[in-house]
Amino acid sequence: MKRVYLDNAATTPMAPEIIQMMSEMMKTHFANPSSVHSFGRESKTVVENARKSIANLLNTSPGSIFFTSGGTEADNMAIKCGIDDHKITHAITSKLSHHAVLYPLEDLEAEGRIKLSYIDIDESGVVSLPHLKELLANNPRTFVSIMHANNEIGTIQDIKAIGEICKEYNAIFHSDTVQTIAHFPFDMKELNVDFMAASAHKFHGPKGVGFVYISENIQIKPLLRGGAQERNMRAGTENVYGIAALAMAMEMAYEHLEEEVKYIKGLKSYMIEKFKTEMQDVQFYGKCTDMDNSLYTVLSVNFPETDIAEMLLFNLDILGVACSGGSACASGGSKSSHVLSGINPESKRPGIRFSFSKYNTKEDIDFAVAKLKELFN
């Protein structure tokens, strides 16, 4: 049966070149990078070269990059250590943050260690900068966690402006950049960001590896205790081939960024056009149709409330279309989404997120829209 994969914001397929490199490296670089013999030193070189390469791509120093098991660990490390080690008692986030951010913050609040404020957002999920200033002015030194782009609706925040406000108020700024690293250019010399998170599987690398960026102005203690890896900042034997693959995936992404952005934007526009011209009453979430202020990889839409719509995700899967979704209110076919209910609590229309990569084609989109039309007719 023909199937199309339109769930690239959940994870991307690995690039064949990276699979090839990793499987070779598993044979040649099996040694522990902490071992002092030549085998170990060779593994260590792989890890350090990957760090340098990633740092170059972000215009920062290798000392700011710490490898982790992925985005969740990077976010947790930034939040828990950033707050604890700086004796922070107030944090700000948005209700639309990923659970890798919301849950550790909510835990700290439940333990009575911080007061947690939620920043005002508009109907697209864009945070209010005047409210940020107000919250910062009326509270002690604050930890701010605002994601760069939302994984469900694709809304992008102006992290440069947020960083400048945080600097003005001496706040610590963490941004969950899991959906944007290797999809947008970053210049860390231009951004006042203290912590950022990245995950290789969002840009055709393997799962279970990522990094946390920590600015040179910030000192923290490690989250995981044990060995002295990552300059005593992240214990545990390094995922050598995963780290090499992470760097390779980032290098590939940035080398071809312009052409890939253009290609994927083309796919997204094509799907928007098809929804507008071939289907009725399809609504677009957030700023999804605004190409410059939303993820070009994500098109988040909602469909009319009908019996069939309730089980839309399930039905699409049966017909060979892999995408993801969630409703504002929990319904039979899909789980309730804190993001969709955060922007539109009353809506019962089922939301579907289509997300694209360089491996998708217009035929994939034709196929998905044809199946949707079949379901609605």
Judged by CB under 6 A, does residue 205 bind ligand PLP?
A: no
For residues 233 and 225, give the distance between their C-alpha atoms in angstroms, rounded to a whole number: 8
Judged by CB under 6 A, does residue 104 bind ligand PLP?
A: no
For residues 188 and 185, give the distance between their C-alpha atoms in angstroms, rounded to a whole number: 10
Pairing of strands 65-68, 321-322: unpaired
Nearer to ligand PLP, 244 or 295 (CB): 295
- Write the interaction track for ligand PLP spanning residues 142-161; mark x where CB under 6 A is met and - where it is not: -----x---x----------
Smallest separation (angstroms) from ligand PLP to the CB of 12: 11
Judged by CB under 6 A, does residue 70 bind ligand PLP?
A: yes
Q: Under DSSP, is residue 74 helix (H, G, I), strand (E, B) or coil? A: helix
Nearer to ligand PLP, 206 or 222 (CB): 206
- Find the binder of ligand PLP among 7, 176, 230, 238 (CB under 6 A): 176
Pairing of strands 90-93, 142-145: parallel
Spatial neighbors of 172 by CB under 8 A, at least 6 apart, are 82, 86, 88, 141, 142, 143, 144, 166, 194, 195, 218
For residues 275 and 281, give the distance between their C-alpha atoms in angstroms, rounded to a whole number: 9
Question: Which segments of 279-322 does DSSP mark as H helices, in order?
Answer: 307-310, 312-318
Is-catalytic flag, 329?
yes
Judged by CB under 6 A, does residue 7 bind ligand PLP?
A: no
- Write the interaction track for ligand PLP spanning residues 108-137; mark x where CB under 6 A is met and - where it is not: ------------------------------
Which part of the chain contacts ligand PLP (CB under 6 A), choosing from 135-143, 166-174, 175-183, 297-305?
175-183
**Residues counted in the chain:** 377
Nearer to ligand PLP, 11 or 49 (CB): 11
Quote the Cα angle for 292-296-299, to 5°. Answer: 110
Structure token digits, residue 30: 């099996």
Smallest separation (angstroms) from ligand PLP to the CB of 200: 8
Binding site for ligand PLP (CB under 6 A): 70-72, 75, 98, 100, 147, 151, 176, 178-179, 199, 210
Which sequence positions are flagged as catalytic? 329
